[in-house]
Structure 1
Amino acid sequence: MKFTSLRRCIKNRNLGSPYILSDCDVVVDGDSFFKDTYSNSNSQYILGPDCDRYADFLINKLSIFLDSHVKCHFIFKGATKLNMDERQKFHESIIHDRIVTKIKTAPYFQPLFAQDIQKQVLEEMDIKYFVCEYDSIEAIIGVARKLKCPVLTNKLEYSLFGVSCIPPNFVLYIKGCNKLICQIYENEKVKNVFGVYNKTPMLLALLNENGIYFEQAKEIIDDMEGDATWPVVKWVKRQRQATIASTVLKGIHDNEHRDAFNKVHERIQTLYLYPFCNLAVKYFQKNKVHSLFRDDKKWFAKGISNGRIAPAFIDLKKKGLVFGSMLMNDMKRPDAMLAAVEIVSYSHCLLTNSQSSTITFIGRQNDRTCIQEISNHWDRKIPQRGIFTKHRDGKKIKMNDCDVFKEFLEVVLPGSNFRYHFLFVPQDCWLLIITLVYYIFKKNEDFLNAAYCVLLSYIVLGPVSKQVDELKKVESILNSSKDCVSFYNNFKRMFDKVDLSQKYNSSVVHSFSEFQHCLQNMNYLNKLCGEKIPCTVYHDTYNASFIYNAFMFFKDKNDLMEYLENKCAGSIYLEMFKKVVDGFEKCLSAVEVFAKNNVLEASVISNEIKT
């Protein structure tokens, strides 16, 4: 549903009143709250996400609520309901916007990982969030009315559904007072201004701009030139409640449009009178996430709700749809998302309990949208039970100890034996290394030098930066702590903004985009499988400016290691980096040797058959 005209009308009537938030609950429309936050963080986006900088911006934005003792309940929407034609047109419009002759004229777009970072920051700050399968309006209104608290959202029309709304951009923090000053659009005040009361659901149904019946419904109303809101309000006021529905339906001649109107009207009536969203309400009332049981009809919705199942998997499971990359750096090369299709295919099999996957891929071929079917069959048994938290054995409930992700790696990277090679590697970068090995071995062997820059980004953003941040909290720097400061300072300039007019290489950036898609989908699969390996924390791992600058500055691994030995000799972080690199190289070498031996073995068998 879409109420742009109504929202503008409420805003222009100056119905907001001063309000103080402190020691209270608030439901937060996550999509509204985080909208434009990446661009507002002044982080570059062409090269990929500067995850740490964006996360710092979000932490500062969220901290004012914690300091004011405001308990936030974040709710996000899931997938958008569009048919195939609408999705194709949407993708075509993106391609059209991204085709530029000069990099300086590239329009803004939200880079990969941004939405994942939002949720990771919330988890880090111990703020609960809930993700809906589709639209979030039921969950937002249901939880707000249950908790009897306002909603932080730009969608001021929610104030006609029985909740009070606070625009996120009008929230100011008073230092020292632990209070937030804001503007609130109170439900009763807004409702009284419109004055249609019990006929409000009909008013909202008529003002829904997404309804296919909208143009026909406008013909019923007099004086509909310009803003539609007030003519509709006046018309609804004049009608009798008992006959208004039949009057509207008589004016909508098309049967399909009439059915669509009835469905929207019924949905709005339910929202207005009985806004139940039990799954969301129970989620915020519990102190733990929903467990997943195979025999639970709501297992998929529950998995989506707590982030166990990525929103990208909604259309994948229900319609077999995968959407191409929004990152279009080199039009001559294939769609960047194709690099991760094998990982997505395995996820599809897990979600549908099948050995085969056929997905419809809506992506890019050169400068055009293309739709293609991609099929994969896995010979090795894929145990769907591995994605469930627990399983029932008679009357007993047992924890699931199946490691599905490990089985996936044994199929796609046979011989990797990563746990053996990662004995001296921190667990929080295992998935990063696994993805680097996967991308280099399966997709792009020329990415090797870039891999060392990605691993260096992990060291500088993770172990080093965490220690530097701790030091900023104390007045003096101990001798034992100077190591991390010195190491950080030697790479500080790598965070500088890249002059893209001088240093932009579209093919290199495209390779990084492919790797980002692999890393994201490897994390999605790992989380779906129960996260036996810690997922990648993007803001402790990936800064695209740092990685690109390092890649352009160092010729190869030898050049990088020589620089490190000269500048950071004796540093514990240099030794840590060497161990991470060693684990990466041994894992990659093991996969390559295994593949080579298999080729030789197959060749010997072939020769024996011939003789």
Structure 2
Amino acid sequence: MMVPYTTCEFEADDEIAAMARYLNCPVLSYDSDFFIYNVQYIPFNTLEIKPKQVILNNDKVLVMECKIYKVEYLVANFGGLKEELLPLLATLLGNDFVEKRVFNRFFSQLKLQKNEPKDDLYTNMPINLNDNEIDSSEETDNEECDDSSSTSSNKENTDSDLQNLNNNHINGMPEWFAEYIRLNKVPRFYINLYTHQLYFFSPQAEDYSDEDASLCALPILRYVFDILTDFSYENFIYVSRENNSNYKRLVIDKEYSISRLTETSFNELNNEQLKKYFYHFIKQKMPLLDYETIELLPSNFQLYMISILWWISNCSVPLSHIHSLIITYIFLDAIDEKIGTFRGHSFFNNKHSKKLEELKKRPFVPASIEEELYLNKHKIQYEDCLIAGSVLLKHFEIDDSIRKRPKSYDVRKIHSFAQFQSCLLQFNGLNTLCGDPFKSTIYSKCYNGTFIYNMALKLENQDDPILFIEQYLKGATSVLTFYKSLCHLFNKCLTTMNLTTVKWSNRKRRSRRKKKEDDDTKFIVEGFESHVVI
């Protein structure tokens, strides 16, 4: 979308405020901290998403109504409040920094009626302090000043302790690792894997009566862990899901590991050496993968295809699911670029009704790849995209049959695609870690869950998905030629690697009796600032 953006290592409030002042624009957020910054602030809940037409300089324009808060308005509404005191106000309001008990003595002095409404708490705070309490407070302050002189003698030891603490923190996350995170050389979802030897599975829609959909990608994750830690650990902890939706810890040991390519530390590897690590993994785990065939694919589909092939080799995958992924990629990456990002089926067909009627009268030209493959999406014709869009756009909408009968929703299909998403995620993570030997996946250009599910339903009973799609998109010749070219290369990889797909069965798995919750599912993970209990 060509929208400029930036990222921060930690909480970005200060940077957001600075950028807002520089650009002279409001901050759209729901963080009350922006009340205190010298910026205009629009709370999310005041923004009207539906555009409203207004007259501006004699022109009709669409606007979104909202409420903008300014510091001067805030200060003017509270007598005695000054702008320089606003940071203190933020400290008092924020529960992240100051525990409530710190203010127990303060709140104990508030004289409120028993049934005092909460809304009046900030406007009715009579605090009565007698002279004895003031004197006592002053004496306490003096005592604290006296104590400070004795405490100062321990300053050197305290500084030493703090220095040791800082060193330990640096040892926990070396400067090079922090820099790699900043530069996106290490994906952020691997931070815990490196610092705590711990990885939490990615929760997603799947069949909870079946095993964790992410398990098929564990060999990739283990290799990532080995690269990050220079192959120096025996195991790490993977937090997984049990069949009854409870959580469990899995010890991922070296049974998933492969040999180390070089003895050079990860942070000392150059880009070419890093890329060799990716190819080394493929050579060990997918030895029959044909790189020459992969390189014929569009650059943004190569890693996607490798993920598909891994998915097939490690899971039971129906052929219809593969073709639904290919069609989805073609629509999101190629057709959308030609016709625009329409998602309303009826609106699209009404808008282009005359043009579509004209296109139906064109002579039929069959899609053929006998002479050469058609792998340049830019050669796909606009008119063919209109025909394909008029047929396929409805698959971006949830079918009415599912709304009426929610139980008809096939969770096993969702589970299968969840397995694929796990493979795609880990391959993209490994690809980033290894210096991007392949173009990273742009998920919005290749994956839409609703569309994929609906296409899988459409294709599940088809023995020959290619023949069906040819009839389904009849007339969209260049789209079909592109599709058949991708399918040809996929089938070539499938044959070379001796992989097979499975036939989809409509039989539903018997529901399993829910197991009694085991004490082992409640675990404590050490190594954080506080214990994490799940």
Deviation at residue 550 of structure 1 after TM alignment: 1.9
Quote the residue 1:277 is aligned against: none
Structure 1 residues 353 and 158: alpha-carbon distance in aligned structure 2, compared to 1, 3 A threshold: farther
Structure 1 distance, partners of 2:424, 2:98, is 40
Deviation at residue 454 of structure 1 after TM alignment: 1.0
Quote the residue 2:298 is aligned against: 426
Equivalent of 1:208, from 94, 101, 117?
94
Structure 2 distance, partners of 1:384, 1:130, is 33
Structure 1 residues 463 and 360: alpha-carbon distance in aligned structure 2, compared to 1, 3 A threshold: same
> Does the Cα contact within 8 Å between 2:28 and 2:41 map onto a contact in 1?
yes
Structure 1 residues 519 and 184: alpha-carbon distance in aligned structure 2, compared to 1, 3 A threshold: same
Structure 2 distance, partners of 1:496, 1:435, is 26
Q: SS state of the match for residue 307, structure 2?
A: helix
Equivalent of 2:490, from 567, 576, 584?
584
Quote the residue 1:129 is aligned against: 6
Quote the residue 1:320 is aligned against: 197
Quote the residue 1:230 is aligned against: 122
Query: Is 1:381 equivalent to 2:254 in the alignment?
Result: no
Deviation at residue 519 of structure 1 after TM alignment: 1.3
What do the CA deviations read for 1:336-361 (whole angstroms, capped 9, x no partner)? 23232322222233333336563322
Q: SS state of the match for residue 166, structure 1?
A: strand
Deviation at residue 547 of structure 1 after TM alignment: 1.7
Quote the residue 1:452 is aligned against: 323
> Does the Cα contact within 8 Å between 1:331 and 1:367 map onto a contact in 2?
yes
Structure 2 distance, partners of 1:199, 1:156, is 16
Quote the residue 1:6 is aligned against: none
Q: SS state of the match for residue 184, structure 1?
A: coil
Query: Is 1:185 equivalent to 2:69 in the alignment?
Result: yes
Quote the residue 1:495 is aligned against: 396
User: Which amino acid in the other structure matches residue 94 of structure 2?
Assistant: N
What do the CA deviations read for 1:218-270 (whole angstroms, capped 9, x no partner)? 343233884697389987x9999xx99x88x99xxxxxxxxxxxxxxxxxxxx
Higher gyration radius (CA)? 2
Quote the residue 1:405 is aligned against: 278
How many percent of aligned residue pairs carry the same amino acid?
22
Query: Is 1:549 equivalent to 2:454 in the alignment?
Result: yes
Aligned pairs (5 A) from 1:188-587: 188-191=72-75, 193=77, 195=81, 200-210=86-96, 213-221=99-107, 222-223=109-110, 226=118, 230=122, 298-305=175-182, 307-354=184-231, 356=233, 358-365=235-242, 366-376=244-254, 378-382=257-261, 402-417=275-290, 419-442=291-314, 444-469=315-340, 481-498=382-399, 499-500=401-402, 501=406, 503-555=408-460, 558-568=463-473, 571-587=477-493
Structure 2 distance, partners of 1:476, 1:205, is 62
Q: SS state of the match for residue 250, structure 2?
A: strand
Q: SS state of the match for residue 445, structure 1?
A: coil
Structure 1 residues 160 and 436: alpha-carbon distance in aligned structure 2, compared to 1, 3 A threshold: same
> Does the Cα contact within 8 Å between 1:568 and 1:574 map onto a contact in 2?
yes
> Does the Cα contact within 8 Å between 2:222 and 2:257 map onto a contact in 1?
no
User: Which amino acid in the other structure matches residue 525 of structure 1?
Assistant: L
> Does the Cα contact within 8 Å between 1:360 and 1:372 map onto a contact in 2?
yes
The two structures have a TM-score, normalised by structure 2, of 0.64
> Does the Cα contact within 8 Å between 1:322 and 1:361 map onto a contact in 2?
yes
Structure 2 distance, partners of 1:493, 1:155, is 38
Structure 2 distance, partners of 1:229, 1:588, is 70
Query: Is 1:152 equivalent to 2:152 in the alignment?
Result: no
Structure 2 distance, partners of 1:231, 1:348, is 56
Structure 2 distance, partners of 1:523, 1:170, is 36
Deviation at residue 307 of structure 1 after TM alignment: 4.6
Deviation at residue 434 of structure 1 after TM alignment: 0.8
- Whichever structure has more strand as a proportion of its residues is 1
Deviation at residue 438 of structure 1 after TM alignment: 0.6
> Does the Cα contact within 8 Å between 1:355 and 1:379 map onto a contact in 2?
no
Structure 2 distance, partners of 1:137, 1:404, is 38
Structure 2 distance, partners of 1:298, 1:516, is 32
Structure 1 distance, partners of 2:265, 2:492, is 29
> Does the Cα contact within 8 Å between 2:320 and 2:465 map onto a contact in 1?
no
Where structure 2 has 5 or more consecutive residues not aligned to the other structure, the ranges are 145-172, 343-347, 363-380, 500-534
> Does the Cα contact within 8 Å between 1:387 and 1:530 map onto a contact in 2?
no
User: Which amino acid in the other structure matches residue 106 of structure 2?
Assistant: I
What do the CA deviations read for 1:2-46 (whole angstroms, capped 9, x no partner)? xxxxxxxxxxxxxxxxxxxxxxxxxxxxxxxxxxxxxxxxxxxxx
What do the CA deviations read for 1:64-91 (whole angstroms, capped 9, x no partner)? xxxxxxxxxxxxxxxxxxxxxxxxxxxx
Structure 1 distance, partners of 2:125, 2:179, is 39
Where structure 1 has 5 or more consecutive residues not aligned to the other structure, the ranges are 1-123, 251-295, 392-397, 594-611
What do the CA deviations read for 1:316-341 (whole angstroms, capped 9, x no partner)? 22222222232253222122232323
What do the CA deviations read for 1:498-526 (whole angstroms, capped 9, x no partner)? 33325312222112112112212222322
Q: SS state of the match for residue 371, structure 1?
A: strand
Q: SS state of the match for residue 451, structure 1?
A: helix
Structure 2 distance, partners of 1:126, 1:553, is 36
> Does the Cα contact within 8 Å between 2:41 and 2:70 map onto a contact in 1?
yes
Q: Which moved more, 1:360-369 or 1:560-569?
A: 560-569
Q: SS state of the match for residue 360, structure 1?
A: strand
Structure 2 distance, partners of 1:348, 1:229, is 53
Structure 1 residues 220 and 507: alpha-carbon distance in aligned structure 2, compared to 1, 3 A threshold: same
Deviation at residue 390 of structure 1 after TM alignment: 9.2
Equivalent residues, number: 412
Deviation at residue 579 of structure 1 after TM alignment: 1.9
User: Which amino acid in the other structure matches residue 424 of structure 2?
Assistant: L
Structure 2 distance, partners of 1:389, 1:545, is 43
User: Which amino acid in the other structure matches residue 585 of structure 1?
Assistant: N
User: Which amino acid in the other structure matches residue 490 of structure 1?
Assistant: V
Structure 1 distance, partners of 2:122, 2:190, is 41
Q: Which moved more, 1:559-568 or 1:512-521?
A: 559-568
Q: SS state of the match for residue 7, structure 2?
A: strand
Quote the residue 1:140 is aligned against: 16
Structure 1 distance, partners of 2:251, 2:120, is 43
Structure 1 distance, partners of 2:121, 2:179, is 38
User: Which amino acid in the other structure matches residue 220 of structure 1?
Assistant: F
Q: SS state of the match for residue 317, structure 2?
A: helix
Structure 2 distance, partners of 1:233, 1:385, is 66
Deviation at residue 436 of structure 1 after TM alignment: 0.8
> Does the Cα contact within 8 Å between 1:354 and 1:382 map onto a contact in 2?
no
Q: SS state of the match for residue 490, structure 2?
A: helix
